[in-house]
Amino acid sequence: MDRAPHKYIVSKQTFFIRRSYIRKKACRFCADRNLPIDYKDVKLLRNFVTERGKIMPRRITGNCAYHQRRIAKAIKMSRIVAIMPYTSINV
C-alpha cells in the first residue's frame, strides 16, 4: 500500500543526487586549440564513438557544437576509408 509513495520519494532523491553529479564538461578542442581533428587519428576519434561504433552525442562528450560537427565529419570520413568501423560485430 505505502510502496508506491516510498518508491516515488526514492526516485526523486536519486534524481537530485544524479543531478548534483552532473558537471559541465568543457570542450576538449576549445580548451586545447592546437589539438587537431584528423580523420586518420583513430586514437582520438575512438573517444567519441561507443564500443559498437556509434557517434556519441554532444551531451555525453561535452564538445561544443562546432567541434562536434567536426568530429562527426571526421568519423564519417574515416569510416569511408575503412579506418573506423560503421558497426562492430563482436559484442
Cβ 4 to Zn ion shortest distance, Å: 45
C-alpha distance across the termini of the chain, in Å: 42
Q: Which residue reads 562546432 in cell numbers?
A: 66
Nearer to Zn ion, 8 or 66 (CB): 66
Tell me how far CA of residue 87 lies from CA of 42, 72, 73, 75, 79, in angstroms. 15, 15, 16, 12, 10
| Window 20-59: contact mask with Zn ion (x via CB under 5 A) | -------x-xx-----------------------------
Q: Which residues in the 62-91 window bind Zn ion by CB under 5 A?
A: 64, 67
